[in-house]
Amino acid sequence: MLSLNPSRSGRVRTVFVAVPALALLATLEWRAQALFAPADPLAQDHGAPGYTDTPLLPGGKWHVHDPARPRPPVVTPGSASTPEQPGRAPSDAIVLFDGKDLSKWTSGGGPAKWKVEGGVAEVNGTGDVETKEAFGDVQLHLEWAEPTPAQGESQGRGNSGVFFMGQYEVQILDCFENLTYPDGQTASLYGQYPPLVNACRKPGEWQSYDIVFEAPRFDGGKLVSPARATVFHNGVCVQHAQELLGATQHRAVANYAAHPAKLPLRLQDHGNPVRFRNIWVRPMERRAP
């Protein structure tokens, strides 16, 4: 472009400014920067959020914030129970008792014979019941109510229990204003660890257990890792990742004996008419790093 620019002497100086050339140089410079700049790790997965230039997590193959890492499946949460109505299980749960029948349970090699009425299963002296399906690591939800009016004392008052793998018991008992030995009261890991607190409701009121049980691991008959249990009683944490000493014993120290990786869940008939409803489990798997 030609520009007429008067000088101090009054003469006109002609200045040529190559604007198109400057613009071209700027464009080339910008393109070079884009070509040789490091790729944006956030954009390498075609829109999936994450990073691939971050450190590897210890013991595994995934980067921190790795977009290629498998994504968790979507689960529809359940709903909470009320005194009048049991809640709904999560969409991926195995419902073991929905108030209709005990078709997923057995007793002594035959059908479970506990009384089922009004959406409730009641212990009736016909023996323990156990699931037809075997489980290892699980999340268990179970609701139960103690007989009313309360009868008996100590271990004779509303006694039952839930046995993981048929041998690791979380005690069920009416401990509302009822004293017994601490490692045998409600929500104890029977004969091993008392609950952290007593969260019992009154007899007749519905109570709940939410339990995460981690099965023991064996290798060639040798214990590799013990069983562990985290127990919420009526929404209160009463056992926190507690290691069990072994299979439940009465008046003896618990110990381990090797067994299959999965075994049935068992509910105890201790002679008291304890009622149950809304029982479901979610099998859990230890994930790789």
Higher pLDDT, 36 or 67: 67
pLDDT over threshold 80, residue 33? no
pLDDT over threshold 90, residue 282? yes
Q: Which of 1-5, 66-70, 193-197, 283-287 has the lowest mean pLDDT?
A: 1-5
The confidence band for 289, taking pLDDT boundaries of 50, 70 and 90, is: low
What average pLDDT does this structure show over 213-225? 96
Q: Which of 10-24, 46-60, 180-194, 211-225 has the lowest mean pLDDT?
A: 10-24
Q: What residue ranges do the domains of the chain occupy? A: 2-37, 96-283
How far apart, in whole angstroms, are the C-alpha atoms of residue 204 and residue 200?
A: 11
What average pLDDT does this structure show over 174-186? 96
Kindly report the CATH number that applies to the domain delimited by 96-283.
Answer: 2.60.120.560
Q: What tens digit of pLDDT does each residue of 73-116 get?
A: 999 999 999 989 999 999 999 999 999 999 999 999 999 999 99
pLDDT over threshold 80, residue 26? no
What average pLDDT does this structure show over 191-196? 98
- What contacts 256, CB < 8 A, 6 or more positions away? 216, 218, 223, 226, 246, 247
The confidence band for 48, taking pLDDT boundaries of 50, 70 and 90, is: confident
Higher pLDDT, 40 or 268: 268
The C-alpha angle 238, 140, 144, rounded to 5 degrees, equals 75
The confidence band for 46, taking pLDDT boundaries of 50, 70 and 90, is: low
The confidence band for 233, taking pLDDT boundaries of 50, 70 and 90, is: very high
What pLDDT is attached to residue 47?
67
How far apart, in whole angstroms, are the C-alpha atoms of residue 285 and residue 289?
A: 12
What pLDDT is attached to residue 32?
41
What average pLDDT does this structure show over 117-122? 96
What pLDDT is attached to residue 265?
98
* Three-state secondary-structure class, residue 23: helix
Residues 198, 202, 203, 204, Cα dihedral to 10°: -130
pLDDT over threshold 80, residue 155? yes
Average pLDDT score, the chain: 87
